[in-house]
Amino acid sequence: MFSIGTMSDRTGVKVPTIRYYEDMGLLALAERTAGNQRRYDQAALDRLTFIRHARDLGFSIEAISELIALGEHPDQPCAGASRIARDQLADVRARLARLQRLEVELTRIVAGCSGDGTLDQCHVMAALADHDHCVTEH
Amino acid sequence: MFSIGTMSDRTGVKVPTIRYYEDMGLLALAERTAGNQRRYDQAALDRLTFIRHARDLGFSIEAISELIALGEHPDQPCAGASRIARDQLADVRARLARLQRLEVELTRIVAGCSGDGTLDQCHVMAALADHDHCVTEH
DNA sequence: CCTAATGTCTCTAGCTGCTAGAGGTTCAAG
DNA sequence: CTTGAACCTCTAGCAGCTAGAGACATTAGG
């Protein structure tokens, strides 16, 4: 049986975050010692590892919650899990596309300023004031 | 003079968000009518347009606040504004790099699942459970 | 000029995913 | 048995809004 601190050390998830995941229903209520401290088993550690990895991949708490619920029924078709992962990928790609547009604009804006003029001639301020200076919608 | 609704229509910034920006000190306190409603002038509209554009480019409220403060002294060198923009670009590039790694992993994970097996054979669940399935740190 | 509809006001609370702190209790090593 | 680290619960805070309640202001039409 592991204390919450051990769980934290093994997964890299901070102690208050573990408690938060419990509140959110991602982790089952842990057993308690006579003194009311949480004690976890291997299954709980595995689940926390799963959660950590899914969070690192950008899945929301809600999506992870659904994945865990699906995981309770391993005999079911995996279409649901597959859909959640594809949704997440679509989300990542959308954010990626947006950031790429921002990168283009910001690079242009920054390149236009050497940093040694005065502000009223500054390309940075002018570019921010007027979207027409941009080459893309963003 | 423009009402807050007109400001909203012209900039695409929602009415409560305009009030929020005022609270945050990005917009000066507006004049008020006898009935206590905000009335804005062209300078306020220009500033809100600036804020909107900077937000669209991902600048934080705090960064925008600094840019506005710098903008009050157009005779000063523009090194400060330039630095803020370069910081923002660096931030965007860091997030971009992270999302690109996620995209690689998620694409791999999703590709490994046709969606018509059962969950216990599902690549999605296995990949999420174990980081060793990943090709990158992410 | 009056009325009805729409716009605006302030205030509070909620969203995501944590993080920090206060004030108190329990555990484990020596 | 003592002591120091780890743990407990609870509340509040972060960004950047968004939503809703309940009340007042403005404006267009008749």
CA–CA separation, A93 and A27 (whole Å):
29
A138 belongs to a structural domain: no
R_g over Cα of chain A: 23
Quote the pLDDT of residue A118: 80
- Which position has the token pair 């401290």? A37
In chain B, % of residues over pLDDT 70? 100
Please report the number of interchain residue pairs, chain A to chain B, with beta-carbon separation below 8 angstroms: 171
Q: What is the number of structural domains in chain B?
A: 2
> Quick one: B8 and B72 in the same domain?
yes
Higher pLDDT, B68 or A135: B68
CB contact under 8 A, A74 and B102: no
- Residues A94-112 have a mean pLDDT of 94
* Separation CA A60–CA A51 (nearest Å): 10
Task: Point out the least confidently predicted range of A48-57, A108-117, B65-74.
Answer: A108-117
The answer to whether residue B9 is domain-embedded is yes
Average pLDDT, chain A: 93
Strand C and A14 CB separated by under 7 Å: yes
Encode pLDDT of B98-136 as tens digits. 999 999 999 999 988 877 777 777 888 989 998 888 888
Is A29's pLDDT higher than 80?
Answer: yes
Determine the structural domain holding residue A89 and report its residue range: 80-133
SS (H, E, C) chain A: CECHHHHHHHHCCCHHHHHHHHHCCCCCCCEECCCCCEEECHHHHHHHHHHHHHHHCCCCHHHHHHHHHHHCCCCCECHHHHHHHHHHHHHHHHHHHHHHHHHHHHHHHHHCCCCCCEHHHCHHHHHHHCHHHCCCCC
Question: Are A96 and B92 within 8 A, CB to CB?
Answer: no
**Do B89 and B41 belong together in one domain?**
no
Nearest residue to nucleotide D25, by CA–C1' distance, is B35
Residue B58 has pLDDT above 90, yes or no: yes
Task: Please give the helix or strand (H or E) that residue B83 lies within, else none.
Answer: helix B79-111
Q: CA A81 – C1' C24 distance (Å)?
A: 44
Q: Which residues of A touch B121 (CB under 8 A)?
A: 78
Do B31 and B91 fall into the same domain?
no
